Structure formats: C-alpha cells, structure tokens
Amino acid sequence: MPRIPGAGLLSGMRLTLTRFFQPKRTVMYPEAKPDIAPRNRGRLELVTDEHGTLKCETCFQCAQACPIECIDMGGTDTKGRFAVHWGPAEQYAERREESAMRRSGRTVPDAAAATGARVNTAKVDEILEAHDYDPHHMLAILEAIQATYGHLPVDALKRVSRATGAWYAMVYGTATFYKHLAFEPGVTRSIAVCRCANCLVAGAGSVMGTLSYEFGTEFGRAIPWSNLRLESLPSHLPDAPSPLVVIDGEPQRDLNAKNAASWAAALAGRYAA
C-alpha cells in the first residue's frame, strides 16, 4: 500500500481506464460460436443419418461401456413384449414417483416384482452352480433354464445377471438372439393363417382380422391368456384348401370367408374355456 493517501485508488482508476481501451473478451454468441475443444463431452445425443432415421440400433454397448452409468437406454423389443431399460432410473417418471412415495412415507411398489410371474429361482442357482457362475457359458445356462422351466422367466434372467455379474442387457440379448429360447411360458401351439395370393382372394384377410379381434391380440404374438400363438404361414401347404388355417399343423377344412366369424368365435370360446 502506498504512503500517499488515495494513490492506490488512483492507480486502480488508471488500470480500469487502460482496460477501457483494451480489446474485449465477449464472445458474440449467436454470431460467433465459442471455441469448443474437440474432446468436449457436452450433452449426449442420438445421431441421425441423412434420411433423418436414428442411427442407434440399440446394441446397449455404449450403456455398458459407460463406467458410471450415465448413459440411459430404454426400448421395447421387436415383439413389443419387454421394455428394456438400462441406466440410472432417477430421471424417469417411474422413479420420481417412487421418490415421492418414499418422501411421503408410503411403501414403494416394485414394478418388477408386481407384474412378472414369480418363479422359484432355487433351480437357477443349481444350474449356475453347475456352470460355475461363468457368464461365458451363457447359452448353456439359458438352455438349461429353458429345459427346467419350459421357458425363460424374467426372474430367472435377473438372477443370472445378478449372480454372474453379466449385464442384464447381455443376458437378454443372448436370450433373444437364439430362436429356440422362448420367453412365453409354454407356447407350444399355434394358429397359423396362410397369406398366399390364393388364400387372400378366398378371404384369408377377413379370417385374420376376425381371429385377432376374437383373441384380442395381433399376428406374430402370443395370445396372452393361453398357450396359443397367432402366426402367419410361410407358404401354402400342398393340396390344402383356401383360405387355409392351420392349428398345430392340422389344416382346417370346413372353413370359408362366410363362416369365418362364427368359427373364430367358437374357437375363442373353446380355448377360453
């Protein structure tokens, strides 16, 4: 501090006056873009291609690679059955709701526990023990589970994920990749409709519509309340009538466009009972 009173103030005034004439540091933002380093993480965004389609193919690899799970991915599988959700959940409505419940002192319902079919996972543990909890043997484990339970229950998959340390998305990916692994319990029977030109002319379309209305589901899906599945036939069977409906490999003979509605209703009634 200088001895003359006020000299410090004056030197400060001189400094501000020199700064008054110096070049300014403001970035004129909308016109001039700030200088952002190439490594800047910024915000995560999904990239689209030139047609405007998302490039992401939901392989979950980015989410798996993220060490702190800040990448969140969610989606429904192609058959519309499972919402697969990866990442911290707190940004999402379901979690907010839970926190709100927690704060207000109510018990928090567990969505996973409430909706999935509860199975006893004791046998899963035996299977896992037999395979030494090794995630590399995932296919063998899943096959063994399918052999035990008849299908792959979600609880079992989660147990596998927890015990082996494999990410759930990985387990789920393996399970969906192999055609012989099934998620629905006991889908052993199917109602298949042929969609060849001949059959469509003969009224296969209205048969399909009626069937999906009566069973309350869509083609390519399991009927929720039974072990049946609506499918379309890949090709017309030799010397079969049109329209062709096959139940468990058995072509139905006495069927035409006119009686299709009552036939389907009767069928639905039979299976419902």
Partner 1 sequence: MDRRLALLLAETFGERLLTPVRQRYDETEIRIALADATDVLRVVHDDPALRFSMLIDLCGVDTGEEMHVVYHLSSSLSGDWLRIIVAGLDRTAPRIASATFLWPGAEWMERETYDMFGIIFEGNRDLRRIYMPDDYRSFPLRKDFYLADDASRSPAAGVRNMERVGTPADATAATLLRKSPGA
Partner 2 sequence: MVWNRLTPAGRALAVLLPILAIGGAATTLLLATFGGVIVATIGANLPIVRFLAASVITFLISVPVAFLLIYMEMKIIALMNLRIGPDRIGPAGAVMSVVHGLKVLMKEDYTPPSVDVPVFTLAPVVVYLASFMTLLVIPFAPELTSMGFELGLLYFFAIGGLGVVGLMMAGWSSFNKYSLLGGIRAAAQAISYEIPLTLSVVGIVILTGTLSLPKIVAAQDGSFLDWFIFRQPLAAIIFFIAITAEANRTPFDNTEADQEIVAGFATEYSGMRFGFFFFAEYVNVFIVSALFSAVFLGGSNPPIHIDLHPQILVDLGALGIGLPLIAGLAPVVGTLLFAAPLWFASTRIKGWQALVGGFLIFGGLSTAAVGIWAFVMLPPVASLIWFLIKTFTLVFTFVWMRGTLPRARIDQLMGFAWKWLLPASLLNIFATAAAVLVAGR
Partner 3 sequence: MAGQMRPSLDDPRVAIPADSSWYEPAPTPKTERQAEFLTLREGEMFVNMGPQHPSTHGVLRVIIKVNGEKVVDLDPVLGYLHRGVEKLCENADYHQAICYTDPLEYVSSLFCEAAPVAAFEKLMDVDVPRRAQYIRVLTMELNRIASHTLFQGWMALDLGGITPILWSFIERDEIVDMLAALTGQKLLYNYYRIGGVNGDLNHEFMSRLGTWMSRAAAQIDSNLALINENEIFVRRTRGLGVLDAKTALKMGVTGPNLRASGVPFDLRRDRPYLVYPELEFDVPTRDEGDSLARYLVRMDEIKQSIRIIDQVLHEMPDGPVMAKLPRLLRPRPGRAFGAVEGPRGVYGTYAISDGSDQPFRMRIHDPSFVHLQLVGPLTKGNLIADTMAVMASLDPVMGGVDK
Binding residues for partner 2, rule: CB under 8 A, are 9, 12-13, 15-17, 19-20, 22, 24-26, 28
Rg value, the chain, Cα? 31
Nearest approach, Cβ of 18 to partner 1 (angstroms)?
Answer: 45
Per-residue mark of binding to partner 1, 119-138 (x: CB under 8 A):
--x-----------------
| Nearest-angstrom CA–CA distance, 200 and 192 | 14
The smaller minimum CB distance to partner 3, of residues 59 and 247, is found at 59
**Can you tell me the distance from the alpha carbon of 94 to that of 83, in angstroms, rounded to the nearest whole number?**
13
Q: Which of 14, 136, 162, 258 binds partner 1 (CB under 8 A)?
A: 162
Site for partner 1 in 169-208 (CB under 8 A): 169, 185
Q: What span, in angstroms and rounded, lies between the C-alpha atoms of 11 and 13?
A: 5
Least separation in angstroms between residue 271's CB and partner 1 is 9
- The answer to the question of residue 110 lying near partner 1 (CB under 8 A) is yes
Please tell me the number of Cα atoms within 13 Å of 114 on its side-chain side. 4
Among residues 24 and 270, whose Cβ is nearest to partner 3?
24
CB of 37 to partner 3, least distance (A): 3
Q: Return phi, psi of residue 270, to 5°.
A: -65, -45
Residue number, 18 or 40, with CB nearest to partner 2:
18
Residue 116 CB, nearest distance to partner 3 (Å)?
A: 23
Binding site partner of 20, from partner 2, partner 1, partner 3, none, Cβ cut-off 5-8 A by kind: partner 2
Q: CA 256 to CA 207: how far, in whole Å?
A: 9
Nearer to partner 3, 39 or 180 (CB): 39
Longest CA–CA separation in the chain, Å: 116
Q: Which is nearer to partner 3, 68 or 273 (CB)?
A: 68
Which distant-in-sequence residues (6+ apart) come within 8 Å of 87 by Cβ? 63, 69, 70, 71, 72, 73, 74
d(CA 151, CA 87): 27
Residue in 168, 111, 160, 165 with CA at minimum distance from that of residue 140: 160
Sequence letter at residue 63: A
**ω into 224 cis (within 30 of 0):** no
Give the residue, chosen from 8, 88, 186, 220, that forms a contact with partner 1 under the rule CB under 8 A: 88
Please name every residue paired with 231 in a beta bridge, in sequence order, or none if there are none. Answer: 192
From the list partner 1, partner 3, partner 2, none, which binds 2 (C-beta under 5 to 8 Å, kind-based)? partner 3
Among 4, 32, 113, 147, binds partner 1 (CB under 8 A): 113
* Cβ closest to partner 3, residue 133 vs residue 219: 133
Q: Which does 52 bind (CB under 5 to 8 A by kind): partner 2, partner 1, partner 3, none?
A: none
Phi/psi of residue 193, nearest 5 degrees: -120, 135
95 contributes a contact to partner 1 by CB under 8 A: yes
Task: Show contacts with partner 1 in window 226-265 (CB under 8 A).
Answer: 226, 265
